[in-house]
Amino acid sequence: MTATDTRTVTHSTFTIERRYPQKPERVFAAFADPAKKRRWYAADSPGRTLESFEMDFRVGGWERTVSRFKPGSPFPGVALSAETNYRDIVPNTRIVTAYTMTIGDHRMSSSQATFEFHPDGEGTRLVFTDQGAYFEGSDGPEMRQGGWSSLIDQMGATLAD
């Protein structure tokens, strides 16, 4: 590294809350069951094609997702990877993960994410908290919050099916 190289890190924490009419067991299963999670979390999108999704849902387990940007996107042909480690799981109550995101060969961020499933009448109040360190050239906390917000909304849509 030379004196002209600049290494930066931006720290940010955000919380997203949603309410679903389904019980905590059903909402938790959308995160715990690999087939259900793949449906909302790792589906193809207009800008990316899924290459792989693997999941070992247990404390100490892992999850790996790799997608590739499509032609016409800002990064055509470049891989986007997420690697997750499950740190704490309390069935139907809480999931805590540590995850990193990489685009091409550039590590963009490292985060801890907590999903809390609270009974709320006949349904569930989901509280998601992300504590991130975003590195130079990353998507940044605003884009990440928008991305998670969309993913959590997609998860809710799959619960209605």
Render 2-37 in DSSP notation, one character per residue. Answer: -TT----EEEEEEEEEEEESS-HHHHHHHHHSHHHH
Residue 4 pLDDT more than 60?
no
Q: How far apart are the C-alpha atoms of 150 and 39, rounded to whole Å?
A: 14
Whether this model's pTM surpasses 0.85: yes
Kind plus residue range of the DSSP H or E element containing 118: strand 106-120
Mean pLDDT over residues 54-80, rounded?
95
Residue 2 pLDDT more than 70?
no
Summarize pLDDT for 21-45 with one digit per residue, the tens: 999 999 999 999 999 999 999 887 8
Mean pLDDT over residues 123-139, rounded?
94
pLDDT attached to residue 70? 94
Q: Which CATH superfamily is domain 11-159 in?
A: START domain (3.30.530.20)
Q: How far apart are the C-alpha atoms of 161 and 158, rounded to whole Å?
A: 5
Q: Categorize the per-residue pLDDT at 1 as very low, low, confident or very high, splitting at 50, 70 and 90.
A: very low
Domains of the chain by residue range: 11-159
Enter the tokens of residue 121: 């009448």
pLDDT attached to residue 52? 96
Q: Which residue has the higher pLDDT, 134 or 138?
A: 134
Q: How buried is 160 (Cβ within 10 angstroms: 0-12 exposed, 13-18 middle, 19+ buried)? A: exposed
